[in-house]
Amino acid sequence: MTEVELSFTAALARVTYQKKCSCLKFIDSMIWLSQMRRGKRLTPAQSKYLAGCVIRFQRQISAKVVEVARKELERLKAAERPRERS
């Protein structure tokens, strides 16, 4: 995981979730992954979803982390666009 992804999981670890949150299982697995297997790289889809989760819970997370998540999501979407045109 990159430093940015580690900061996202650290921020999401402090969030209070509803019992039926659709992304709770994913976030739980990302937190576990960040603690146990730091060297493993996330797929672009996992990185996008992780950044999306940070934006989704922006009221409970620092504004700086949310801004980084928005920039990361835009970067991932931009990197994905040239592949679609080919």
Question: Is the separation of the CB atoms in 47 and 76 below 8 Å?
Answer: yes
Percent of the chain having pLDDT more than 70? Answer: 95
Q: At what angle do helices 24-36 and 3-13 cross, to 10 degrees?
A: 120
Closest to 3 in 3D by CA, of 28, 39, 53: 39
Residue 80's pLDDT band (cuts 50, 70, 90): confident
pLDDT at 60: 93
pLDDT per residue over 8-25, tens digit each?
A: 999 999 998 888 888 899
Which contiguous run of DSSP H or E holds residue 62? none
Number of other residues whose CB lies within 10 A of the CB of residue 38: 10
Residue 85 burial by Cβ neighbours in a 10 Å radius (0-12, 13-18, 19+): exposed
